[in-house]
Structure 1
Amino acid sequence: MPPDYFADDPRSNLERMLAGDLYIADDPEIAKRQRRAMRLAVRYQAAYLEDAVGSRPILAELLGSVGEDVDLRPPLYVDYGSNITIGARTFVNYNLTALDVARITIGEDCQLGPNVQLLTPTHPLEPDPRRDKL
């Protein structure tokens, strides 16, 4: 039986994750937030194909903050979206993967090429915590 890593820690897995501490990723609240982000990313892609400017409210709902005149070409892949900030007048080409377990900030007047990956999650290096799904 694995040790109880969180015996003296009353925080939820989501709270531990946001603090940058070890957590269990298959927590129901975390999974709910991930599914929300996936649904919004798919809605954004479909809306962008019909009307790039009109799709902006969906992007704003998905991400933590979006500056004016941001052009983010889908598809977009995120863990949560809510931990991502994009500054004004930034262009992001196709296929951004931004795994936002921690905060991701893209400044103003930036240009990101296709297939960029911004990856914040990490895993323990020791084998036992990895086996225990931390």
Structure 2
Amino acid sequence: MNELEKCLAGKYYDCHDEIFLQYKNNARNLLAQYNALPYDQTEEKRVILQKLCGSIGDNVSIASPFICDYGCNIHIGSNVSVNMNCTFVDCNKIIIGNNVLIASNVQLYTATHPVDIKDRFMPGWYPESKKYFCQTYALPITIGNGCWIGGGVIVLPGVTVGGGSVIGAGSVVTKNIPANCVAVGNPARVIRRINKEFVQ
């Protein structure tokens, strides 16, 4: 397995491998261009998004500033609105369905580290080495069709938000949320069911 395969499989990987440095450099160059464009230059923005993202549907709006890690792991459906100041840490895949609203300051994090400190450090690492010390892995995030992700929401690695669901502003989503629910809080919990007639 190469480092990219390890990453996408959710295994520990070397985030400083050449392939990821290329992804980061490409994303940062494209983001610099994108975030510098005026609000109404929609055609120019579309061209950059097509180069940045792994795939992107029709009628997609991403407000500036927008930040992502690699870009190429972001897959967005059609009729999607992403408001300003959102951060997508797309070390693994971020899949966003159709007809989705993502409010300002939303953060989608696929990358993470071991909680136990003995596992967090690289095997054989010691402080005097001055080398990178932390083990990293990444898990995909999926936002289903028809979702609305409220302002300031944080979605953690490996989470799926089921189609039609609404995540209340300021929530931290640590586990999967079923379809057609309102979920709020830290950690986010389902408070009621919605969309009885909704068909994905």
* Cα distance in 2 for residues equivalent to 1:127 and 1:92: 35
- Equivalent position to 1:124, from 110, 114, 118: 114
Whichever structure has more helix as a proportion of its residues is 1
- Partner of 1:54, secondary structure, is helix
- Partner of 2:42, secondary structure, is coil
- Report how far residue 60 of structure 1 moved: 0.8
In the alignment, residue 120 of structure 1 is paired with which amino acid?
T
Q: Does 1 or 2 have the higher relative contact order (CA < 8 Å, sep 6+)?
A: 1
User: What is the match of residue 43 of structure 1?
Assistant: 33
User: What is the match of residue 99 of structure 1?
Assistant: 89
- Partner of 2:67, secondary structure, is strand
- Equivalent position to 2:62, from 72, 90, 105: 72
In the alignment, residue 31 of structure 2 is paired with which amino acid?
A
Which is greater in Rg?
Answer: 2
- TM-score, normalising length from structure 1? 0.84
Contact 1:97 1:116 in 2 (8 A): yes
* Cα distance in 1 for residues equivalent to 2:16 and 2:4: 10
Structure 1 unaligned runs (5+)?
1-10
**Aligned: 1:15 with 2:8:** no
Report the identity percentage: 35
Q: What RMSD in Å do the two structures reach over aligned CA positions?
A: 1.5
Structure 2 unaligned runs (5+)?
123-133, 136-200
